[in-house]
Amino acid sequence: MNPTIELLKKHRSIRKFTTEPISSELLDELFLAAQSAATSSFLQGTTIVRVKSPETRALLAESAGNQGYVNTAAEFLVMCADLKRAGNYCIENGFAFEGQYTEQFIIATVDVALLAQNLVIAAESEGLGICYIGGIRNDPQRVTELLDLPQGVYPVFGLCLGYPDQNPEIKPRLPLSVIIKDETYNERGNKEEVREYDKKIEEYYKQRMGGGHGISWSKQVSKLLGEKSRPHMKDYLIKQGFKFE
């Protein structure tokens, strides 16, 4: 396969970085590559807040569940879904700003994710490592205040970028037969395939943790979906102007 596909297949999150900075020339290249991703209805609904201040970083790291690499990564970017920028022009152009429909929430959220993934791949193609920080949704109100996010803007996730100071293993994914289905959704074969996969993941964790218990994929995701999952998000988003109409 070609080098780009090889690169994609080698992805793993990096949580330990060297102190080497990323040059501003390279960073601009990464941003341009990021921006080239598709954008729904040409909205371009992403704003990136680049946080350099160690004080703000420390508060964000704490909010994100004490993820220290938010402090130590060469760059920490807060990737925001932004309906405000476009919304500003509604009134100017004789439209009422109809409010934030669920659809518009989806459009802006997907826009951020596509752009971020381009940024990630551009970064990895230059030897950088990355880690997505969903933990900034632990306390989105605090992030909003720290970064002055106005109505119509919310932080979808953070992104750590830097030169890797570790070389973790690639985490195995579900078999293709479980996630790709022909013609219609069906769960044929999933149960058996996931059972085998669970063993593989237990083994992966045992090796990574140096012995001890491994936790299977199905147990991990059971916990994720079985527990109250950031139940503050809805009220936060409504307050922030995403009305889910």
Q: Is there binding between residue 102 and a second copy (CB under 8 A)?
A: yes
Q: Cα separation of 241 and 200, whole Å?
A: 43
As a whole number of angstroms, the distance between CA 22 and CA 73 comes to: 10
203 binds a second copy (CB under 8 A): no
Angle at 110 between CA 53 and CA 151, to 5 degrees: 55
Tokens of 48: 């990136």
What minimum distance in Å lies between the beta carbon of 126 and a second copy? 7
| Binds a second copy (CB under 8 A): choice among 20, 28, 192, 203 | 28
Q: Does position 38 bind a second copy by CB under 8 A?
A: yes
242 Rama sector, left if φ>0, alpha if ψ -120 to 50, beta otherwise: beta
Q: Tell me if 166 contacts a second copy by CB under 8 A.
A: no
47 CB-near residues (< 8 Å, 6+ apart):
80, 82, 85, 153
Q: Does 18 bind a second copy (CB under 8 A)?
A: no
> In this chain, which stretch among 15-23, 62-70, 106-114, 206-214 interacts with a second copy, using CB under 8 A?
106-114
Q: Using only C-alpha atoms, what is the Rg of the chain? A: 20
Q: Are 157 and 116 in contact (CB under 8 A)?
A: yes
Contact pick of 58, 65, 95, 209 for a second copy (by CB under 8 A): 95
CA angle 132, 135, 139 (to 5 degrees): 145
Angle at 162 between CA 156 and CA 165, to 5 degrees: 125
Contact status: 173 vs a second copy (CB under 8 A): yes
Does 87 engage in binding with a second copy (CB under 8 A)?
Answer: yes
Number of chain positions touching a second copy (CB under 8 A)? 117
Contact residue for a second copy among 18, 23, 36, 66 (CB under 8 A): 36
For a second copy, the binding residues in 140-159 under the rule CB under 8 A are 146-150, 153, 156-157
66 binds a second copy (CB under 8 A): no
Give yes or no for residue 60 binding a second copy (CB under 8 A): no
User: Should residue 13 be labelled a site residue for a second copy when binding is judged by CB under 8 A?
Assistant: yes
Judged by CB under 8 A, the residue of 68, 166, 181, 239 near a second copy is 181
Q: Does 67 bind a second copy (CB under 8 A)?
A: no
Token pair, residue 125, equals 């193609």
Provide the minimum distance between the beta carbon of 142 and a second copy in the complex, in angstroms, as a whole number: 14
The DSSP symbol for 240 reads T
